[in-house]
Structure 1
Amino acid sequence: MKMRLSIRFRPAALAVTVALALAGCAVGPRYQVPAVDTPVAFKEGRGAWVAGAPADLLERGPWWELFQDPVLNGLAAQVEVSNQNVAAAVARYAQARALVAEQRASLFPLVSLNGGADRSGGGGKTPTRSSYQVGIGGNWEPDVWGRLQRGVESARAGEQASAADLQAARLSAQGELAVDYFNLRELDAARALQAQTIAGYERTLRITQNRYDAGIAARTDVLQAQTQLANARAEQLGLERQRAALEHAIAVLVGQAPAGFALAPRPAWAGTVPEVPVDVPSTLLQRRPDIAAAERRVAQANAEIGIAQSALFPSFRLSGSLGAGAASIGDLFSASALAWSLGASLAQTLFDAGARSARVESARAGLQEAAARYRQTALDAFRDVEDQLVAASVLQQQLALREQAAQAANLVEQQVLNRYQAGQVGFTEVVQAQVTAHSARRAVAQALADRQVAAVALIQALGGGWRGL
C-alpha cells in the first residue's frame, strides 16, 4: 500500500526547499576497511609488515625483464595486446566504467521534449480541424536519503574492483606465459641432454657388440644395451610431444593460432634466475590486484546496505512542464497558448510484510561475506609469499647439490665403462651408472627451471615484482 500526496505552486516550492536541505544525508554505515590479522614480519624473510594502503595501480614495470631473455620479453609484450582473456577483462572494465556514468546520471533531472500534430474531419458539413502541441517537461528525484549517491558509490567500487581484476588477468597471463616458456626451455635442454645420452648409449652398444663378436661378452649384454638405447629414443619422442604442447599453449597466450607459431629450439639454454632481495618489503603485497579487488567489493557491499535502508524512508519527486497547444503553428507560441505546471509528490510504503527489512538484512549479510572473502584473500596472499620465499631459498641450495651430484655421476659413468672394457665389471653396472648419470644431468636442468618458475610465482605473489618501490 502506498500513500501519495500531490502539492502545487507554493507548497511545491516548500517541498523543493525541504528536499534540497535533506539531500546529502545518506543513510547506511560509513565504510571501514575490514581489519586483517597480519604477522609482524615474514617468517621466511626479513621484510616487516607496515600499515596497508591500496597500491594495486602502481606501475609494476616489465618484471619479466629480470630474467634477461629477449624472446620472453617479446612474448610478454604480445600478451598485453593479443591475449583474449586480457581483452575480455578490458571489456569488463569498460562496462564497469559505463555503469558508473549511468548511476551518476541519476543524480540529475530528466528533461524531455514532445510534440505532435493532429488533423481530423468527417463527411458532410463536419469541418476539417488541425491541432498542434509542443511541450517540455522534467522530473527530478532529490537524493534525500542518499540512495542515488550510494548507488554511485557502489558502481564506483565495482569499477575499481574491475580495474583490479584487469590487472590480475594481465599478471596471471604473463605469469602463465613465463612458466610455460621456462618449462619449454627446460625441455630444450633436456632434449639436448637426451641426444647426448642416446649418442653415449649407441657407443656403448657398439662396444658391447664388439666384445660379443670377440667372444668376451655375453649375448645378454648386447640385449641390455639395445633395450637401454630403445628406451632412450622413446623418451626423446616423449620430450618432443611435451615441448609441442607447451609451444601450442604459448601460442594461445599470445593470441595466435598454434599452426602459425613456432619457437626455435635453444639446446644450450641456461636461464638467468633473478636474485630475490633479502629484505622484501611487505608494502609490495599491497600491489596484489586480488587483494585490491576483494577490498573494493567490501566497499561495494557496504554501499548496498545504504541503498536497501533508503527504501525504508519516503521518496520525493518534483516535476514541471511547459507546453502549448493551438490550431495553427503560427499561434503555437503565443502567450495565450502557453500552459505550465509545477508539482511535487511524496510516496511511502506503509506495509510490505517485512520485505524491505529483509533486503537490509540481506545486504548486511553480503557485507559480512565480502569482508570474510577479503580477509581470506589477504591470508592466502601471506601464505603465497611465505611459500615462494622458502621455495626460492631451498631451490637455490638444491641446484648446487644437483650440480655436485651430476659431476660425481659423470665420473662414475666414465670409470665404470672403462672398467667394463677392461673386463673388470659386468654390463649391469654400466647400465646402472649410465642411468644414474643421465638422471643427475636431467635433475640439474629441472632444478634450474624450477628456480625460474619459483621466481615467477614469487613475483606474482608480490603483485608484480619487487622493483619500483
Structure 2
Amino acid sequence: MSFNYRTSVLAVAAALAVSACSFGPGGEPPAMPSPEHYGEQAQPSKTVAAGGVTQTFDVGATSAPQWWRLYRSDALDALVDEGLRNSPTLAAAQRTLASAQQQLRAQIGETTLPSIDGVAQIQRARSPVVPGLGPEQVQYNFFAGQLAAHYTFDLFGQTRYMNSASAARVNVQAYELEASRRALAANIVGASINVAALDRQIALTERLVAVSSDTANDDQQRYALGSVSRAQALGSKQDAASVAATLPALRQQRASAIHALAVLLGRTPDNAPSVPALDSLSLPEHVPVAVPSDLLRARPDIQAADAAVKAAAADVGSATAQMFPSLSLTASMGRGGFSWPALLSGAGGLWAIGAGLSQPIFHGGALVAQRRASIDAYDASVLHYKSTVLSAFQDVANSLAALDNDAQTLASNEVAAQAARAAFDDTASRHRMGALPATAQYASEARYLNAQMGAVRAASQRMSDTAALFQAMGELPVNQQTAASGQ
C-alpha cells in the first residue's frame, strides 16, 4: 500500500512538472531596431513657414485620439463622426469581432469545465423467446433518468494552449477593427480635403476657361481687322479649347471623390454630403512623432501582428501537447426500472464511474507533421511581424519627408502666386489706362489663375499628408498614454 501511494504521488508530481513546462515558444515578438530617426536623414524640428503655418514636429508626443478635430472644422468633425457611426463595413467588422468573442467564451466553457447532461429515457420493447420454453412474446416497459458528467484533465496543457491561441486570434480581430476604424477616419478626412481642393480648382479653371475664351474672341476680332495673324487667332482658339478640355476631367474627379465619400459615410452616392471649403480647414501646427518603442505599441497593425505571433506560439504548444497522454473521467447517476414503482423504489438506483487514459502511439506521422507545420507557421508569423514593423517605419519616414517637402512646395507656389497677382494687378491697371491691350490683361490673369491652382494643390497635399502622418502614428492605449505623459 505504501509503495502504491508513493508511486501515485510521484506520477502526479511528474505530470504536473511536465505540464508546467512550456511546449512552445514564449510568444514574445522579436526585438526590433530602434532607430534614432525614421528617414534617411533626421527630420527637422519644424517646417518652413507656408500658408501662414510652420508645422512643429513634437518628438516623443503621442497621437491625439481624435486627431481630425485639430483641423478645427465642425463640418469635418461631423463627417467623420457620421462615418464612424454609420459605415456598414465598420459595423460588419464589429459584429464579426463580437461573434468571435462569444465563440471564444463557448470554447473556454466547453473545454475547461466539466460537462453535465441530463438524460431521460422511456422505452417499450419486445424480446424474442425460444419456442416451447416460455410465452410466445415478452413485452416490457423501461423507465430511466440520470445525470451524466464528463471531464478531461488538461495534464499537458493542450486545452490551455488551444484557448490561448483562440484568445490571441480574437485579439487580432480586435486590433484589425481598430485599424479599420482609424483607416476609415483617415479616408474620410482625405476624401473631404480632396473634394474641397477640387471644388477650388474647378472654380479657378472655370474662370481660366472664360479668360481663354475672351482671349480667343479678342484675337479673332483683331484678325478680322487685320491687326494679328491668322496663326495667332487659331493658336488662341486652340489654347481656349485645351483649357476647356481640362474642366470635365476635374468634374469627373470631383464626382468620383464625392461618391466615394458618400459610401464611406454609409450613404448612397445620390445623397452625397456637402464638404467644408478648403479655406475653412486649419492645418494642425503641431504633429506628433512617436519614438519607435511607442510606435510598436500604438499601431494597431503591429499589435495585430504581435497577437498573431502569440497565437502561432500557442499552436506549437497545442501540437506538442497532443502527443502526450490524455486522462478523462466519466460519472453518471440516476434511477431506472421496468415500471414506475420500480423506478421510485430503492432498487431503482443507477450509477457508474469510470476513467480513461489514452496515449497516441502511431498516427502515421501525422502528429509530428502537425507539430512541424505549427513551428513553420510560428516562424512565418515572426517574419510577418518584422515586415509589419518595417513597413510602419517606412510609413512614418515617408510622411515626415512629405510634410517637409510639402511646406517647401507650398512656400514656392505662394511666392509664384503673389508675384503673378502683383503682375496681374499692374497689367490690369495699365490696361485701364489704355497702355496695354486686353489680351495682355487676359494673359496676365491666366498666369495668376494657374499659379493659384498650383498653390491650392500644394496646400491640399500638405493637409492630406498631415492626416497620413497622424494615421501612421497610431494611438497608444489610454493607460499607456497616461504613463507616457507622466514620464
Q: Secondary structure at the match of 1:349?
A: coil
TM-score (norm 1): 0.85
> Does the alignment pair 1:253 with 2:247?
no
The 3-state SS of whatever aligns with 1:269 is helix
| Residue from 154, 176, 201 that aligns with 1:165 | 176
Report the CA distance between 1:244 and its aligned residue: 0.9
| CA distance, structure 1, for counterparts of residue 405 and residue 63 of structure 2 | 30
1:113 aligns with 2:109: no
Q: Distance in 1 between matches of 2:300 and 2:276?
A: 35
Using the aligned pairs only, state the percent identity: 26
Q: What is the CA–CA distance in structure 2 between the aligned matches of 1:95 and 1:313, rounded to whole Å?
A: 32
In 2: Cα distance, 1:325 partner to 1:223 partner:
108
Following TM superposition, by how much is the alpha carbon of 1:127 offset from its aligned partner in structure 2, in angstroms? 6.5
Pair 153,48 (structure 1): closer, same or farther in 2 beyond 3 Å: farther
Secondary structure class of the residue paired with 2:112 = coil
- TM-score (norm. length: structure 2): 0.82
1:36 corresponds to which of 32, 37, 41: 32
Change in Cα spacing, 1:263 to 1:278, as seen in structure 2 (3 Å) is: closer
Q: Secondary structure at 2:403's aligned position in 1?
A: helix
* Aligned pairs for 1:19-418 within 5 A: 22=16, 25=20, 27-29=22-24, 30-42=26-38, 43-44=42-43, 61-105=65-109, 106-120=111-125, 126=137, 128-263=139-274, 266=277, 269=279, 271-277=281-287, 280-282=290-292, 283-284=294-295, 286-412=297-423
Q: What whole-Å deviation, never above 9, does each CA across 1:221-261 have from its counterpart, x for those lacking one?
A: 33333333333333222221111111110011111111222
Q: Deviations over 1:115-149 (max 9, x none)?
A: 11122469997565322111211111100000101
Contact map agreement 1:19 1:316 (CA 8 A) in 2:
no
| 8 Å contact from structure 1 (residues 111, 136) kept in 2 | yes
Cα-to-partner distance string for 1:279-307 (whole Å, 9 max, x where unaligned): 65542552110000000000000000110
Q: Counterparts of 1:248 and 1:450 in 2: how far apart (Å)?
A: 20
The AA in structure 2 aligned to 1:118 is Q
Give the conservation status (yes or no) of the 8 Å contact 2:211–2:442: no
Q: Which moved more, 1:66-75 or 1:216-225?
A: 216-225
After superposition, the C-alpha distances for 1:360-411 in whole angstroms (9 at most, x for unaligned) are 1211111111111111111111111111111111111211110101222344
Structure 1 residue 26 displacement after superposition: 5.5
Q: Distance in 1 between the 2:126 and 2:171 partners?
A: 61
Following superposition, the deviation at residue 77 of structure 1 comes to 0.8
| Aligned partners of 1:180 and 1:246 also within 8 Å | yes
Q: Tell me which amino acid in the other structure corresponds to 1:259.
A: D
Residues 28 and 309 in structure 2, CA contact (< 8 A), matched pair in contact too: no
**Is the contact made by 1:133 and 1:324 (CA closer than 8 Å) also made in structure 2?**
yes
Once the two structures are overlaid, the 10-residue window that deviates more, 282-291 or 358-367, is 282-291
Q: What is the one-letter code of the residue matched to 2:65?
A: G
Gaps of 5+ in 1: 1-9, 51-57
Matched AA of 1:392: L
Task: Report SS of the residue matched to 2:285.
Answer: coil
Change (3 A) 1:19 1:151: farther
Output the aligned Cα RMSD.
3.5
Contact 2:288 2:473 in 1 (8 A): no
Q: Which runs of 5+ in 2 are unaligned?
A: 46-56, 129-134
Residue 397 and residue 174 in structure 1: after superposition, are their counterparts in 2 closer, same or farther (change >3 A)?
A: same
Q: How many pairs were matched up?
A: 448
Contact 1:103–1:148 (Cα < 8 Å) also in 2: no
Distance 2:143 2:213 in 1: 101
Secondary structure at 1:322 match in 2: strand
Q: Deviations over 1:72-127 (max 9, x none)?
A: 21111122222122122212212321232133120111111111112246999756
Q: Which moved more, 1:299-308 or 1:316-325?
A: 316-325
Counterpart for residue 49 of structure 2: none
Q: Tell me: CA distance 1:122–1:278, structure 2 relative to 1, closer, same or farther (3 Å).
A: closer
Equivalent residues in 2 for 1:2-17 (5 A)? none
Bigger shift: residues 355-364 or 369-378: 355-364
In structure 2, distance between residues paired with 1:163 and 1:128: 61
